[in-house]
Structure 1
Amino acid sequence: MAGLKIQNLYKNFNIKNENIKVLNDLNIHIQDESFVTIVGKSGCGKTTLLRILCGLEKQSEGSIEFIGDLDESNIKRKVGIVFQEPRLMPWLTVEQNMAFSLIKERNKDLAYDRIHKHLKMLGLENFKDAYPHQISGGMAQRVALGRTLCHDPEIILMDEPLGALDAFNRRKLQKEFINIFLENKKTIIFVTHDVDEAVYLGEKVIVMDKGSIIKEIPVNLDYYRDFSSKEFLEIREDILNLFFK
C-alpha cells in the first residue's frame, strides 16, 4: 500500500515569455489508505497537482516521496487516474474498455477475474457488451472508474470525475466511491470544486486558492454522512468562510 509526502512543491508555466506561478510551496502528507479531497475554485492548481502526481507534468521545484513500494520506476503502474470525462474508446465494449488497462497482463485468468469482479461491483454486468454510445453518462463514468480499478493501482487520483453528471447520478457515484474506498482500502485523492462533495467524501479536506494550500481540515464523521447534519454544515461553512471572509 502507499501514501505520499509533497514537500516545497512549485510549478511554473512560461506563457508568451511570462513566468506564471501555478503551484506555490505546497506541503502535503497523505497517509496510506486514506481518502483525501482537494477543493478550490477553478484555476487554483488542483488539476496541475494531480497531473504532477501521476507523471503527466514535472514540477518546477520540490519533491514527491511515495511511501511504500512506489518509486519513479513503477509510478505509472501503481498510480491510476480518473478524469472528468470518461475518455472511453467508442469502438470497444464496456468490458473491453475495462480490460484495456490489463492489455499487458500475461495471466489471463487473473485479468478475467479482475474485470468481472469490477463489472459486478459497479453494477455493469448486464451492460458488458454495450458500446459507450449505448450507456448513460453515469454508467460511462463507472466504466472509466472500473478501468482504473482493474489496473489495481495503490493510489487513485480523481480529477472532478462527477463534474458533468446530474445530481442523481452524482449522489449515486459518491456513495460508490465510498464503497470502493471502504472495501478496497486504496489511497484516494479526489479533486473537486464542490464543497459539499469534498466534505461528504474526504477524511481530510485540503483547501486550495491561487496555487497555495490555505487550510487542511479533518472530517471526523463516519460514513455515510448526512448533508444536513449540524456537524456537516459546520465544516462546510468553515470552508466557505475561507473564501468569503
Structure 2
Amino acid sequence: MAGLVLKNLSKTYEIDNKKITALKNVDLTVSPGSFVTIVGKSGCGKSTLLKILCDLEKNFSGTIEYTHIEKNKSPKIAIVFQEPRLMPWLTVEQNMAFSLQNHKDKAYVKQIVSEHLNLLGLYDFRKAYPSQISGGMAQRTALGRTLCYDPEIILMDEPLSALDYFNRQKLQNELVNIFLKTGKTILFVTHDVEEAIYLGQKIVVMDNGLLTKVVDIHMDYLRDTSSTQFLNLKKYILNIFNNISKEEKNEFL
C-alpha cells in the first residue's frame, strides 16, 4: 500500500475579489496501510484537502509525495463522497462493476464484484436498483465500487454523515473490518469526534485551514465508546477545539 507526505500544502480561493484561505501550510505524513481520520468543523479545509489529493483541485502550493510506490509512478486513488452517487439505471452489482468497465477479463470482473457483494452483505440485493435499497445499502454499494477498483489509497469525505444512527454504527464496524482485511491506506473526513476516534489510528485536527494537532490512538479494534480510555480521548479532542474557539474569540476582544 502507498503512503503520502504533505509538505507546506496551501490553497487559496478568490471570491468576490476576496482571498479565502482554505488550507495553510499543512504538513502531514500518512503511513502506508494506516487509517487516518481528519476531524474539524464545516469549512475548516477537510474536503479541500481530499479534493487536492484526488486531483479535483489543481491550483495549490506545496508538495505531495507518495511513498512505497514504484519510482515515477502515481498510486491508484479513489474517493467516496457523502452521497453514494450511484447510477439509477444500473443495478447494485452493475454499479459496483462500473469501476472495472475497461477490464477485458469479464470472468475476473464477475469474481471481484461477487467477492465484494459478499464482503458488504449485498449479494442478495445485487439485482436491485438504487431506488429499491436503503441509504445504508446505497453507501455500501458506493464503497464496494471503490473497493472493486482496488485503490492503494481510499479517501472518504464524510461518507456516513447522512445515515441514521444504527446504519452509521453498522457501517463504521464494516469499515473497520474492511480496513483490517485489506490493509488499504484510508483518509476519512468527519466532523464527528466520536466517529474519528472509533475509526482512526491517527486523528488529524483541523481548524480554519490549519492542521492544529495530530493525535495517535493506541486502542484495539473494535472500540468500546463507553470505556474510560475512549471517553478521556474524546474529552481531550474536544478540549483542543474549545481552546481554539477561545483563541479565536480573544482575537476579536
The TM-score bracket by the shorter chain reads over 0.9
* CA radius of gyration, larger in: 2
Deviation, 1:172, is: 0.1
User: Do 1:89 and 1:97's aligned partners in 2 also have CA atoms closer than 8 Å?
Assistant: yes
Q: How does 1:141-160 map to 2 (within 5 A)?
A: 141-160=139-158
Q: How does 1:47-58 map to 2 (within 5 A)?
A: 47-58=47-58
Gaps of 5+ in 1: none
After TM superposition, the score normalised by the length of structure 2 is 0.94
Which one-letter code corresponds to 1:189 in the other structure?
L
Deviation, 1:18, is: 1.4
Alignment partner for residue 96 of structure 2, among 62, 79, 98? Answer: 98
Deviation, 1:124, is: 0.4
Deviation, 1:208, is: 0.3
Which one-letter code corresponds to 2:82 in the other structure?
Q
Aligned to 1:37: 37
Distance 1:68 1:42 in 2: 32
Q: Give the match's secondary structure for 1:199.
A: helix
User: Do 1:2 and 1:70's aligned partners in 2 also have CA atoms closer than 8 Å?
Assistant: no
Q: Give the match's secondary structure for 1:224.
A: coil
Which one-letter code corresponds to 2:142 in the other structure?
A
Call closer, same or farther: CA 1:130–1:70 in 2, change over 3 Å.
farther
Matched, 1:15 2:15: yes
Aligned to 2:205: 207
Aligned CA RMSD, in angstroms, stands at 1.2
Distance 1:100 1:230 in 2: 44
Aligned to 1:2: 2
Identity of aligned residues (%): 58
Distance 1:59 1:181 in 2: 31
Gaps of 5+ in 2: 244-253
Structure 1 runs (4+) deviating above 4 angstroms are 70-75
Which one-letter code corresponds to 2:18 in the other structure?
E
Q: Deviations over 1:170-218 (max 9, x none)?
A: 0000000000000000000000000000000000000000000110001
Aligned to 1:235: 233
User: Do 2:66 and 2:74's aligned partners in 1 also have CA atoms closer than 8 Å?
Assistant: no
Q: Give the match's secondary structure for 2:215.
A: strand
